[in-house]
Structures are given as C-alpha cells and as structure tokens.
Amino acid sequence: MRSRHCPHILAFTPASLCAAIAGALLVGCVSTAPVVGGGDKGPVTGSAGGAATENKNSTLEHCDASLGTLGVVEDQNASWFQELRNYKLGSTVPVIRLMIQQSNCFVIVERGNAMQNMNTERALQQSGEARAGSNFGKGQMVAADYTMNPSIQFSQNTGGMGGGLAAFSPALGLAGAMAGSLKTNEAATTLILIDNRSGVQLAAAEGSAKNTDFNIMGGLFGGLAGGGAGGYSNSPEGKIIIAAFADSYNQLVRAVRNYKAQTVKGGLGTGGALGVSGGSTAASKAADGPSTTTTTKPATKKKAAPKPVSPTTP
C-alpha cells in the first residue's frame, strides 16, 4: 500500500517505519512555507542606501568619511573567474560593491555592464526620443578616482573523513554512522586599489577564510539524502570566497587609514633612481658622468747640470 502523502513510500514493517519517515523527510515529501529573510546568512549581508546601512556584518570595517569614488572591475578572462562556474557561481562584483558601500570608505560608481544601459538613455536623449526635461545632458557623469581589482588566488574543496565512523569501529554503531563526513572549504583572495589618474597602485591586501562542513546525515542515509544536512545548505564554496574577500577588504581599509604616499627622488615616472648607461634620465646621466678617478703622470728625469770646464794652460 502506498502512502497518500508520499506515494513513493511503500508499506513498511513497524521496525523500519521510523527510518522510512526520516528518509522521506530528507528527500522532500514534507516542506515548510518560505520565510522572508530566513536561511543561512553569509559573511556579507544586509543592505545599503547611500551612507545608511541595514543588517550589515558587525565585523566589517567602517569609515567616518569616504576617501573617494571607486569602480570595481574584475578580470573575467582570468582562470579563477572560469573556475567559479564549476561551483555555479557568477560575478563577485555585486557582493563586493555591497560590502564597500556598507563600509562608507568609498563611493561606488558604475563601471560594469550597466554602463550600456546608461549610454542607451543618453542616446535616446540625443535622438530626441526622450521626454523634455529628462536632463541627460553632458557633464553629469561622476569620475572614478580609483579602481578596485578583485582576484582569487585559490579556492579548494577538500574531502575529509567519510563513510561513517562505524566502518572504523563497529562498537560506535549508530553514533558512528551519524558522524557522516567532513569537508573543508578554503579560499584566499586579493584586492588591489589603483589610482586612475596616475595608474599607481595605492594599496593591496590578501585575505583568507576556511570552514569545515559537517555532512551529518550522509553517513546514515547514504545517497538517499542527496547531500545530507551539511553545515552550509547553499553554496558553501561561495560563502567561503566572499568571507575571504571580506577579510581582504578589512585589511585594505586598515592599510589606507594610515596611508602614506610613496616617493621617488625627482618625482614619479621621471626615470627613477636606477640609471642605465647611455640613458636619458637624470640617474642615467649621473651614471655616465665624468670619472672621479685621477691618473698620475710618470715623473720626468731632471737633466744633469753640465760639468765645469777647467781652464787650459798655454
């Protein structure tokens, strides 16, 4: 006889009824209504509107005054960006931008795909199709003082203990099977801050994050659970990557709070202090300058004085 609520569950003996019900729950026969705002929160959460924020992570660094305008641009041709697709993850930019705005350290300007939409509106204005007063005239775009470039150095998912501890010690019984398996997720990320006017790198910071995912029910129900009750129910790899970026950003903010510009004698980009022979920079000319070594000429011998001539006698 099939269950009216879970048609795929057949009649069981009383001894196996509890296990059958538990298995049915894990495969989705029983569900609850969605809860708005529920679920497992990640390391970057909440919202930002201007300088105001809601429900941001309390560990995120905060600035009383913004340091300038900033565009976030990632290299989508990089190998690490292609690897994100293996985890079914997209661009890192939206979450990084939320994190930056919540910190109030920089004002975000659009330098991504939305620029196409912005240009479309301006084209409508110039073609005369937009309503009068739309005010999409020239001279309104805000320049980006800085560019932030995110990158992922490595992100890995390593397996740990698996198969249930009961296989190691039969005496552990059910408790051993409940142990399931352990999985470690870790990532290292870098954020680089560039000055757009000079092209000079102003700051760089590396961050990391790591966690252990406990697959509690996997050892008890095997493949039936479809992954079991892991420590993260939704993309643990993605949350670890964002946590690493949060660590990178916090360290970068701490660095720029004490920012001191690097200096080069003679000014940046004027040739540097390391000259080369035959070059045109000041350091090269100094390298090619007159030699400071002196040469000594051999001493000249003095001519001997003529001997006196004795007078001759007649």
* Class of residue 297 by CB neighbours under 10 A (exposed 0-12, middle 13-18, buried 19+): exposed
**Is 2 domain-assigned?**
yes
**Is 229 domain-assigned?**
yes
Tell me, yes or no, whether 92 and 239 share the same domain.
Answer: yes
Whether 234 has a pLDDT exceeding 90, the answer reads no
> What is the overall mean pLDDT for the chain?
76
Tell me, yes or no, whether 12 and 108 share the same domain.
Answer: no
Higher pLDDT, 24 or 226: 24
> Residue 222: what pLDDT?
37
Tell me, yes or no, whether 2 and 96 share the same domain.
Answer: no
String of DSSP letters for the chain? ---SS-TTPPP--HHHHHHHHHHHHHTTSS-----TT-S---SS-SEEETTEEES--TTS---SS---EEEE---TTSHHHHHHGGGT---SHHHHHHHHHHHTSSEE---STHHHHHHHHHHHHHHT-SPTT----SS-PPPPSEEEEEEEEEEEEEE-S-S-GGGT-GGGHHHHHHT-EEEEEEEEEEEEEEETTT--EEEEEEEEEEEEEEETTHHHHGGGGSS-S-S-SS-HHHHHHHHHHHHHHHHHHHHHHT------TT-TTS--S---TT-SSHHHHHHTSPP-----PPPPPPPPPPPPPPPPP-
Tell me, yes or no, whether 145 and 17 share the same domain.
Answer: no
Higher pLDDT, 195 or 271: 195
Share of the chain above pLDDT 90, in %: 34
Tell me, yes or no, whether 72 and 147 share the same domain.
Answer: yes
Residue type, position 25, single letter: L
Over the stretch 52-71, which tens digit does the pLDDT of each residue have? 988 888 899 999 999 999 99
> Residue 221: what pLDDT?
36
Average pLDDT over residues 266-279: 89
Over the stretch 149-175, which tens digit does the pLDDT of each residue have? 999 987 776 655 544 434 444 444 444
**Is 64 domain-assigned?**
yes
> Residue 185: what pLDDT?
80
Confidence of residue 39 (pLDDT cuts 50, 70, 90): low
Tell me, yes or no, whether 87 and 168 share the same domain.
Answer: yes
Over the stretch 102-119, which tens digit does the pLDDT of each residue have? 999 999 999 988 988 999
Over the stretch 87-99, which tens digit does the pLDDT of each residue have? 788 889 999 999 9
Query: Token pair for residue 255?
Result: 């660095």
CA dist., res. 76 & res. 151, Å (int): 10
Query: Token pair for residue 272?
Result: 């540097």
Higher pLDDT, 39 or 33: 33
Over the stretch 279-296, which tens digit does the pLDDT of each residue have? 888 888 888 877 555 555
Tell me, yes or no, whether 107 and 213 share the same domain.
Answer: yes
Q: Which residue range(s) make up the domain with 4? A: 1-30
Average pLDDT over residues 193-203: 96
> Residue 96: what pLDDT?
94
> Residue 206: what pLDDT?
95
> Residue 223: what pLDDT?
37
> Residue 86: what pLDDT?
79
> Residue 176: what pLDDT?
45
Tell me, yes or no, whether 149 and 20 share the same domain.
Answer: no
**Is 306 domain-assigned?**
no
Tell me, yes or no, whether 181 and 238 share the same domain.
Answer: yes
> Residue 183: what pLDDT?
73
For the chain, the maximum distance between any two Cα atoms, rounded to a whole number of angstroms, is 170
**Is 282 domain-assigned?**
no
Over the stretch 117-154, which tens digit does the pLDDT of each residue have? 999 999 998 999 989 989 888 899 999 999 999 999 87
* Class of residue 120 by CB neighbours under 10 A (exposed 0-12, middle 13-18, buried 19+): exposed
Tell me, yes or no, whether 110 and 2 share the same domain.
Answer: no
**Is 103 domain-assigned?**
yes
- Number of independent structural domains in the chain: 2
Confidence of residue 48 (pLDDT cuts 50, 70, 90): very high
**Is 227 domain-assigned?**
yes
Tell me, yes or no, whether 245 and 192 share the same domain.
Answer: yes
Tell me, yes or no, whether 96 and 14 share the same domain.
Answer: no
**Is 167 domain-assigned?**
yes
Share of the chain above pLDDT 70, in %: 64
Whether 195 has a pLDDT exceeding 50, the answer reads yes
